[in-house]
C-alpha cells in the first residue's frame, strides 16, 4: 500500500475548499490546511508539510495562484496542481506546476487524479493511465508519460 498524500488546498471559495477537503479525505488522504490568498498560502507553505498543493489560479487577492505556484516551486517542498475553470490562464511553463485539473471536476475524476498523483509522488512515474480531466504540464509530460 502506498502512503497517503498530505494535501494543501489554496482556494478562495469556501464551499469549494470544503468540498475538496472532504473528497481528499474520503479518498484516504489528509489535508494539512487551506488558504484563500497569496499571503495565507505563503504562510501555509512555510508552516506545513504537504506532498501536493491544489491551487486555484484566481484567489481573493487577484490572479495570484501563479505566484503561489512559483513560491512553492522555489521551496521545492510540494508539487502544485492547478485547479481552474480557465486553463488558458496558465502560463506555458505552468509556473512549475505539474499539471491542471479542470473545474468543474467530478468526484470520480478527482479520486482518479489523486490515485495517479499518489503513484507519481510516492513511486514515480505513475503506473496507471492518466485520468481524464487531468492535464500534465509539458515538463512533466516528458517525465511521467508512459513510454510507447
Span 69-91, pLDDT tens digits: 999 999 888 999 999 988 888 99
pLDDT at 146: 62
DSSP 8-state code for residue 9: E
pLDDT at 148: 45
Q: Looking at 43-47, 111-115, 118-122, 143-147, which range is the least confident one?
A: 143-147
**What's the pLDDT tens digit per position in 30-58?**
999 999 999 999 999 999 999 999 999 99
3-class DSSP string for 126-145: CCCCCCCCEEECHHHHHHHC
Please compute the mean of the pLDDT values over residues 125-132 and round it to a whole number.
90
Query: With bands split at pLDDT 50, 70 and 90, how would you rate the model's confidence at 147?
Result: low
Instruction: Give every strand in the sheet of 6-10, ordered side by side.
Output: 30-35, 6-10, 52-56, 79-84, 99-102, 134-136
d(CA 24, CA 88): 25
Give the bridge partners for 135, in sequence order.
Answer: 100
* Global pTM value: 0.94
Amino acid at each position: 500500500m502506498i502512503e497517503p498524500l498530505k494535501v494543501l488546498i489554496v482556494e478562495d471559495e469556501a464551499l469549494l475548499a470544503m468540498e475538496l477537503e472532504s473528497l481528499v479525505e474520503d479518498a484516504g488522504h489528509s489535508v494539512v490546511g487551506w488558504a484563500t490568498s497569496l499571503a495565507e498560502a505563503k504562510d501555509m507553505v512555510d508552516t506545513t508539510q504537504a506532498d501536493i498543493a491544489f491551487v486555484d489560479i484566481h484567489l481573493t487577492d487577484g490572479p495570484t495562484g501563479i505566484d503561489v505556484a512559483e513560491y512553492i516551486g522555489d521551496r521545492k517542498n510540494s508539487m502544485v496542481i492547478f485547479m481552474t475553470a480557465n486553463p488558458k490562464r496558465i502560463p506555458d511553463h505552468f509556473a512549475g506546476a505539474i499539471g491542471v485539473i479542470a473545474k468543474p471536476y467530478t468526484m470520480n475524476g478527482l479520486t482518479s487524479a489523486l490515485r495517479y498523483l499518489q503513484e507519481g509522488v510516492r513511486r514515480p512515474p505513475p503506473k496507471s493511465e492518466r485520468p481524464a480531466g487531468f492535464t500534465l504540464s509539458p515538463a512533466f509530460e516528458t517525465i511521467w508519460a508512459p513510454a510507447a
